Amino acid sequence: MPLPDDPRLLALANDILHQFDAIFGVHAGFRPAHAKGAMFTGTFTPAAGAARLTRAPHVTRPSTPVTARFSNSTGIR
């Protein structure tokens, strides 16, 4: 996916990043948002009636392996 080149969008993105730095401090080497998180792996097993509600492929299988990352929203480590 190409990076945006709209000057207004780039200016907005930079303004947001500067606000994160001003509010939460600069954390060199870490991303400005969602820096702290935990990875989990597991298995998704759909409920018995789930296939009646959606056509999503993972609901039609007995189970699906999953990997999920939960993170905080700020730049605080």
pLDDT at 62: 94
Q: What band does 77 get if pLDDT is binned at 50, 70 and 90?
A: low
The model's pLDDT over 11-46, given as tens digits with 9 standing for 90+, comes to 999 999 999 889 888 888 888 888 788 999 999 999
Structural domain spans, the chain: 7-71
Q: What band does 72 get if pLDDT is binned at 50, 70 and 90?
A: confident
Tell me the CA distances in angstroms from 32 to 13, 14, 24, 57, one per residue in order. Answer: 11, 11, 9, 34
Distance CA 65, CA 77 (A): 29
Q: Give yes or no for residue 74 having a pLDDT over 70.
A: no
- Which secondary structure element, helix H or strand E, spans residue 42, and what is its range? strand 37-44
